[in-house]
């Protein structure tokens, strides 16, 4: 192997190592955060979203008592919540806060077309936590 071939091989290996070391959240679609924010906005205004596969009975019931006129999306992040809440399956997560300053976290998995709820939790109440 000549010097040029060796440099190309080493460069390729380094590039592959960098790409493989990126966290799963960084390998997501670049529009995952705005799409997740849209799901949150839809849940606040319509209690559902056209880009959400289904809400699920437990989250639907929780939202009915949680949402109020001043609920807003306070945080959206790509990737899953760290353990023990997350298990690496969520593509993104969002936090809603209502007028009573209660928070609701929702973990979402994106399949390329739609989101699916993979879990939700109340950050202020560790007893309310579900993974589907």
**Secondary structure string (H, E, C) spanning the chain:** CCHHHHHHHHHHHHHHHHHHHCCHHHHCCCCHHHHHHHHHHHHHHHCCCCCECCCCHHHHHHHHHHCCCCCEEEEEEECCCCCCCCCCCCCEEEEEECCCCCEEEEEEEECCCCEEEEEEEECCEEEEEEEC
pTM (two decimals): 0.76
How far is 30 from 73, CA to CA, in rounded Å? 19
- Which residues of the chain are modeled with pLDDT < 70? 7, 9-29, 126-132
Tell me the pLDDT tens digit for each residue of 104-117: 999 999 998 999 99
pLDDT at 19: 52
pLDDT at 35: 97
């Amino acid at each position: 192997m000549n010097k040029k071939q060796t440099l190309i091989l080493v460069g390729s290996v380094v590039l592959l190592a960098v790409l493989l070391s990126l966290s799963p959240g960084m390998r997501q679609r670049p529009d995952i955060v705005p799409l997740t924010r849209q799901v949150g906005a839809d849940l606040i205004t319509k209690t559902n979203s056209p880009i959400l596969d289904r809400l699920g009975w437990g989250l639907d019931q929780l939202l009915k008592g949680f949402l109020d006129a001043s609920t807003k999306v306070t945080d959206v992040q790509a990737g899953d919540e760290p353990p023990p809440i997350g298990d690496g399956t969520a593509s993104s997560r969002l936090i809603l806060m209502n007028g009573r300053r209660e928070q609701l976290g929702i973990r979402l998995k994106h399949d390329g077309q739609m989101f699916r709820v993979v879990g939700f939790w109340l950050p202020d109440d560790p007893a309310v936590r579900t993974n589907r």
